[in-house]
Structure 1
Amino acid sequence: MNALSPRFKAAAAADIRPLRICFPFSGDSIGGSHISVRGLIAHLDRALYRPVIVPEVPGGMIASFFAGQEQMDDPGSKGLFVPGEAFTLKKFARTLTGVLPRARFLRAKGIDIVHVNDGRSSANWALAARLAGARLIWHHRGDPEALGLRFLAPALAHRVLAVSSFALPPAGIWSARNRASVVHSPFDTEISVDRDKARDTLVRELGVTPDTLLLGYFGAFVPRKRPLLFVDMVAQLRSLAGRPVMGVMFGEARLPAMDTALRKRIADKGVADQVRLMGYRTPGPFWIAACDQLVVPAVGEPFGRTLVEAMLVGTPIVAARSGGNVEALEGGIGMLVEPDDAQALVQACAALGADLGGARQMALAAQADARRRFSEAAHCAKVSAIYEQLRRFEA
């Protein structure tokens, strides 16, 4: 990345032109994909790669998140792809209105690779990339049964990157599986949080006694993450060997119906004094470190960021044996339980809470494992190797 680095000199000697890599983003909310891309860009060798961010909303949250990076306006943003909208010919036609302007943009800017990182961006940019003659990387971070991954990626993607083995495209006659690789999401593995200080902060805010067992839920309140099941678990646990229990839920509902359902479940279970809705907060690792355990009841989660962040800050983990949770916690570095089973969650949380020494040893093993497997440098090396493969690819 230093202009005088040995790699730069080697590249110059070989007359290698830096690849122009476009990272388009639809919508204007920040999620794990944006964090991962920012970590990737920070480690890319500028002698070999020149990244450019193309946010759908100029001057918005995403644009601000990538401040300091080269950015260009999305020429096709008038054809907005609205999440959750029923698939209709009108919706399909509206998405297509942006294809030609985006293809012309990619050609005019000399873009070599379009690296899409979410479903909406894939829908908006995949066809444009192929029409422009650019190579397309389809970075999949969601359900392996997603329609785009199953039906569009086989036709349009030069390579598919999946955040876990669970998220790989299903095998079949019409599949991008033979062009897919597992590349785990990157994390700042040097992160360090004073767990005692973080816990004291949370205890004071909650107004609970220091001996309270703090169980944390982190993530959006959406059905896949099972926020209602978390409430059911706390209702069954209530106390542990005379020790009070508090469930703290960090996140927000994406739809009003879920917010209503969550508040109703809390009231119906009579745990308004044991479940607190904390809202969305940053930095996430600080609040994860404040909890005695991270509880991940999510089912079908491709690869949860909060789970790995908990590993890095030393918070013991109880998770559903489902999706990418199994891959992240392989080797017994977290407690995995049957999905959609509140009683199984209760038993695992109780076991960890009763064996503080064992929980600490498990957390330390998870921390060492996460630092080894999930660094930003390791992620960048894997992605850069794929960029180099595509450099030699004749579109």
Structure 2
Amino acid sequence: MRKRAVLVANPSTDLYGADKMAIETVAALCERGIEVVVTVPADGPLSDRVRELGARVVVLPVPVLRRGYLSAGGILRILRESAVALPACVRLVRKVKPSVVYVNTVTIPIWVLAGRVAGRPVIGHVHELEAGVGRLVRLGLTGPLWAARKVIANSAATKDFLSAGSRRLARRTVLIYNGVPGPPRPLKDLPASPSTPLGLLYVGRLSERKGTDVAIDALSLLVERGIPATLELVGSVFPGNEAFEAALRDRVRDRGLSDAVTFAGFTDDVWGAYERADIVVVPSRLEPFGLVAVEAQLAVRPVVSSDAQGLVEAVAAGETGLVVPAGDPAALADAVTGLVKDWPRAREMAQQGQERAVRLFSPDGYRAAIAELLTEGPQR
């Protein structure tokens, strides 16, 4: 008798937030004896990870909705490109014969359509929250999900975004918080007093919405106030957004911070960076969940995050970290200064953060919830 199969569609082979959740989903299914086929537009680090878990990888280039497409014209373009690529996707679904097609993120609507055309149930997992977009763009982003049997939201903020756009989606959407693994090895304890210079850490895409520029400006303010500090930027830009990184490097040079800022690039092992840090800053302007904030708490490091959407769920303000207005480098610098001046409180919040993160965002809890949803009855 053929094993039950699930087709997992992911938009990239990077190892950022949503990609890490794809890996957790594959792990949940493989450890339960489910046959898993992962399809990605190109080969890369994620492919290696899921193969190690026992999944089969099929590389099938498809159009991916990037943020440059977030306009009515861009949405129409991605839908046209998806229509052209659709037959190949449908053929793969029919070949795999999955009990369900799991589509990770709204950036690959083609897989929702392919699953339905092939007569297979689809479950979409939404990691995006595009606040402030127009009605037509919102419809373009969420409309394909109407064909899904269920929709998973990674935070209450994301669920609210989906529900505001459609009562139909509201009825089908369930909340499953991301499962975030802690460090694979014990990390060095947070020092008894802040380092000199103070070590700040930013992890994530280098982008305006992640507030990379805010972190740099906050560092500049700290230095002006006589607080020696450094900033390590761990992450890279989306392909095609290299101009933003160039602008960041100019910003660092113009503020005389070249010796204080390190562009470390992307790494799939962030725990060494967390171990080096005194304080982790998460200054996002838009953030559906806040995986970095949770990782920082699991690393037992003080966190200063913005109040953007899902971050207020990831960090309990004043208890497990400090929360400041998004896009405000002065507020970020003030919060960092406060932690430096009251380091015992910073250490206490870091400890409470670890305890809360383990309780709310455990991989075991995520795997159990996602596996149950993906292996429930054969409704279409």
User: Scaled by the length of structure 2, what TM-score is found?
Assistant: 0.86
Kindly state the Cα deviation for residue 247 of structure 1 after the two structures are TM-superposed.
Answer: 1.9
List alignment gaps of at least 5 residues for structure 2.
Answer: 132-137
Kindly state the Cα deviation for residue 144 of structure 1 after the two structures are TM-superposed.
Answer: 4.6
Equivalent position SS for 1:73: strand
Q: Quick one: structure 1 residues 259 and 243, their matched pair in 2 at CA, closer, same or farther if it must change by over 3 Å? A: closer
Is 1:100 matched up with 2:87? yes
Kindly state the Cα deviation for residue 392 of structure 1 after the two structures are TM-superposed.
Answer: 4.4
Corresponding residue for residue 129 of structure 1:
115
Kindly state the Cα deviation for residue 66 of structure 1 after the two structures are TM-superposed.
Answer: 1.9
Is 1:285 matched up with 2:277? no
Greater C-alpha Rg: 1
List alignment gaps of at least 5 residues for structure 1.
Answer: 1-14, 200-208
Corresponding residue for residue 349 of structure 2:
362
Kindly state the Cα deviation for residue 333 of structure 1 after the two structures are TM-superposed.
Answer: 1.0
Amino acid at match of 1:276: T
Corresponding residue for residue 186 of structure 1:
179
Distance in 2, Cα, partners of 1:246 & 1:267: 14
Corresponding residue for residue 35 of structure 1:
20
Kindly state the Cα deviation for residue 374 of structure 1 after the two structures are TM-superposed.
Answer: 1.3
Distance in 2, Cα, partners of 1:253 & 1:104: 33
Equivalent position SS for 2:174: strand
Q: Quick one: structure 1 residues 152 and 80, their matched pair in 2 at CA, closer, same or farther if it must change by over 3 Å? A: closer
Equivalent position SS for 1:161: strand
Q: Quick one: structure 1 residues 355 and 165, their matched pair in 2 at CA, closer, same or farther if it must change by over 3 Å? A: same
Question: Does the 8 A contact of 1:150 with 1:175 survive in 2?
Answer: no
Tell me whether 95-104 or 46-55 shows the greater mean CA deviation. 46-55
Q: Give CA deviations for 1:269-296 in whole Å, capped at 9, x if unaligned.
A: 2222332222223410220121110011
Distance in 2, Cα, partners of 1:18 & 1:46: 13
Corresponding residue for residue 219 of structure 2:
234
Distance in 2, Cα, partners of 1:88 & 1:330: 36
Distance in 2, Cα, partners of 1:319 & 1:171: 25
Name which of 363, 366, 371 aligns with 1:379: 366
Distance in 2, Cα, partners of 1:238 & 1:47: 52
Q: Quick one: structure 1 residues 190 and 44, their matched pair in 2 at CA, closer, same or farther if it must change by over 3 Å? A: farther
Q: Give CA deviations for 1:281-339 in whole Å, capped at 9, x if unaligned.
A: 34102201211100111022111222111000101000111111100113621101112
Kindly state the Cα deviation for residue 67 of structure 1 after the two structures are TM-superposed.
Answer: 2.0
Name which of 342, 350, 355 aligns with 2:337: 350
Kindly state the Cα deviation for residue 172 of structure 1 after the two structures are TM-superposed.
Answer: 4.5
Distance in 2, Cα, partners of 1:173 & 1:222: 29
Distance in 1, Cα, partners of 2:242 & 2:371: 41
Q: Give CA deviations for 1:209-256 in whole Å, capped at 9, x if unaligned.
A: 95211111111111101111111111111166x652112222223312
Corresponding residue for residue 157 of structure 1:
148
Name which of 51, 69, 82 aligns with 1:67: 51
Question: Does the 8 A contact of 2:10 with 2:39 survive in 1?
Answer: yes
Q: Quick one: structure 1 residues 305 and 237, their matched pair in 2 at CA, closer, same or farther if it must change by over 3 Å? A: same
Instruction: Tell which has more relative contact order, 1 or 2 (C-alpha 8 A, sep 6+).
Output: 2
Amino acid at match of 1:182: L
Name which of 265, 284, 309 aligns with 2:295: 309
Q: Quick one: structure 1 residues 287 and 42, their matched pair in 2 at CA, closer, same or farther if it must change by over 3 Å? A: same
Matches of residues 166-205 of structure 1 in structure 2 within 5 Å? Answer: 166-168=157-159, 169-173=162-166, 175-189=168-182, 191-195=184-188
Question: Does the 8 A contact of 1:39 with 1:186 survive in 2?
Answer: yes
Corresponding residue for residue 11 of structure 2:
26
Is 1:257 matched up with 2:243? yes
Corresponding residue for residue 231 of structure 2:
247
Kindly state the Cα deviation for residue 192 of structure 1 after the two structures are TM-superposed.
Answer: 4.0
Amino acid at match of 1:302: P
Pairwise CA RMSD: 2.6
Q: Quick one: structure 1 residues 107 and 170, their matched pair in 2 at CA, closer, same or farther if it must change by over 3 Å? A: same
Q: Give CA deviations for 1:1-26 in whole Å, capped at 9, x if unaligned.
A: xxxxxxxxxxxxxx9x8531111223
Q: Give CA deviations for 1:356-378 in whole Å, capped at 9, x if unaligned.
A: 11111100000011111111110
